[in-house]
Structure formats: C-alpha cells, structure tokens
Amino acid sequence: MIADLQGKVAIVTGGANGIGRATCVAFAQAGARVAVIDQDAAGANATCDAIRQSGGEAIAVAADVGDAVQVRHYVQTTLAAWGRIDALFNNAGIGGVQSPVVDYPPEVFERVLRVNLIGTLLGMQGVLPGMIAQGSGAIVNMASVSGNVGAPTMCAYSASKHAVIGLTRTTAAEVGRQGVRVNAVCPGPIDTDLMDALHRGINPQEPDAVKAFNVGRNPMGRYGDPAEVAKVVVFLASDGASFVNGAAWVIDGGRTAI
C-alpha cells in the first residue's frame, strides 16, 4: 500500500479516464472514499464500479470543472455523502489544438485556460474553507512538464500548466499555517487518450511515429503508465508527505532532466 488513507475522503476531477481513473483506484486502495468527478458521466460511473467491485466506496458526480455552479455541486454532493473532504486532486484537463502561437485560435486558448486553470482555482475555492475549518487537507494540482518548459504548437496548454504551478505555490504559501498542503505534479508523457489525440494532431497519417520519436528522447525509453502518476499523487495527499508543500514534482522518466 502506498499510504494509509483509511477514513479519509478524496475528490478526483477527470476521474473517468487516464491518470484520473488510475488515481481514483489508488486512493480507494489506500482506504479513502472517492468522489469521481468528470463531464464524462458514463466513464465516471465505470470508475466507481471498478472501485466498488474491489470493496471500496465511491460516488460519481457529472460536472464541468470550469463551471463555478457545477464545482459547488460536486463539493456539496461529496460533503452530503461523507461530511468532510481531506484531499482534492485537480486533474481534469484538455490539450486544445496544435497550432503555432501566431494563429492559435483565441477561443480555444480561453477554453483551455477555463478548464485547466480556472477549473483548478474553482476546485480549490470549493474545498479550502472546509479544509481550513478542520485544520487539515491536501490538494494536488495537475500541471505537466509543459508547465516547466515550452511546448511548441501547444501554447495554451503550456501557458495553463505554467499558471497552475504559480497558483499552486501561491496557495501553498497562503494556507500552509492552516494545516493545508498544496502541491503540483508535472508528468509527461503518460500513455492516455490525451497523448493519443496529441499524436494524431501532430501526424494524422502516422501517429505511432510521433510516439516512437518521444520514446526515443526519453531516458527511460518509454511512456509512463497512469498508475505511476497515481502513486505519487496519493503519496502527496498522505501524511508521508507532511512537510511537502508548494512543490511541483516532475514525473517524466527523466525527459526534462536532459
């Protein structure tokens, strides 16, 4: 077991697929009750089913993380079910389109910021009052290696992830004395639908060639598995990380180390 989260309550956004689903399962394996949030209601229900079949407790709430009313709804639904929130993983995110900055569509740029950045802000605003009142809590925000370095043709995505790191550090500095820790994770590349879409966007004829190129540049010679991100997130949400605050943990097999 990665950590003991028995009796704790965790919210995971984007929990229907990819890294989010793996993290929901990992939280449940650590003993937490899990609220699975996603705009993909069927996928969120499937994640809940997987958790319940293994003896865990989970609820699914369909929500767009970029919508303040829907964020309040998922927070209230979780509190109504279990009365507290100990951890939030702000993971839901989108890539946008691939285009140079010079003609990147501003409406897509805004939507990427709405989901990746404003969604993260709204999630934290939803849970922080309760965490501060109980004097404990851990938030993990999903950034990316693209939050540390540029990502040619993905300016909205990279800008949003850089901003998530700034938001994380600032919030960590504000709430640390109130018993709440706030950290970010910076994965990449991880085998998920989001990366598949990116491969197709870069080279619709030969998406596998894009992946092969990325694998060739990685010191570990492979993509990461969603479960390898989930383990780090659950650790950061646990008492094992009790003095980790305002950090942005890279999980990239060494890709940005070279």
Ligand X SMILES: NC(=O)c1ccc[n+]([C@@H]2O[C@H](COP(=O)([O-])OP(=O)(O)OC[C@H]3O[C@@H](n4cnc5c(N)ncnc54)[C@H](O)[C@@H]3O)[C@@H](O)[C@H]2O)c1
Out of 74, 104, 157, 223, which one is annotated catalytic? 157
In angstroms, rounded to a whole number, what is the distance separating the alpha carbons of residues 25 and 45? 13
Closer by beta carbon to ligand X, 83 or else 154: 154
Other Cβ atoms within 10 Å of 91 Cβ, number? 30
Beta strands in 45-134 (DSSP E): 58-62, 87-90
**From candidates 36, 48, 75, 115, binder to ligand X by CB under 6 A:** 115
Name the residue among 155, 129, 169 with its Cα closest to residue 249. 169
Using rule CB under 6 A, residue 253 touches ligand X = no
Binding-residue pattern over the window 2 to 21 for ligand X, x denoting contact by CB under 6 A: -----------xx-xxxxx-
Q: How far is the CB of 9 from ligand X (least distance, A)?
A: 19
Using rule CB under 6 A, residue 23 touches ligand X = no
Q: Is the peptide bond before 187 cis (omega within 30 degrees of 0)?
A: no
Our answer to whether residue 223 is catalytic in this structure is no
Beta strands in 129-253 (DSSP E): 137-142, 180-187, 248-251
Using rule CB under 6 A, residue 93 touches ligand X = yes
Segment interacting with ligand X, rule: CB under 6 A, options 32-40, 76-84, 128-136, 202-210:
32-40
Using rule CB under 6 A, residue 123 touches ligand X = no
Give the total of residues touching ligand X (CB under 6 A).
29
Beta strands in the chain (DSSP E): 9-13, 33-38, 58-62, 87-90, 137-142, 180-187, 248-251
Judge whether 36 and 12 are in contact, CB under 8 Å: yes
Using rule CB under 6 A, residue 139 touches ligand X = no
Binding-residue pattern over the window 33 to 72 for ligand X, x denoting contact by CB under 6 A: -----xxx--x--------------------xxx------
Closer by beta carbon to ligand X, 14 or else 56: 14
Name the residue among 234, 243, 240, 248 with its Cα closest to residue 12. 234
Q: How far is the CB of 188 from ligand X (least distance, A)?
A: 4
Q: Which amino acid is at 66?
A: G
Residues that bind ligand X (CB under 6 A): 13-14, 16-20, 38-40, 43, 64-66, 91-94, 115, 142, 144, 187-190, 192-195
Catalytic residues: 157
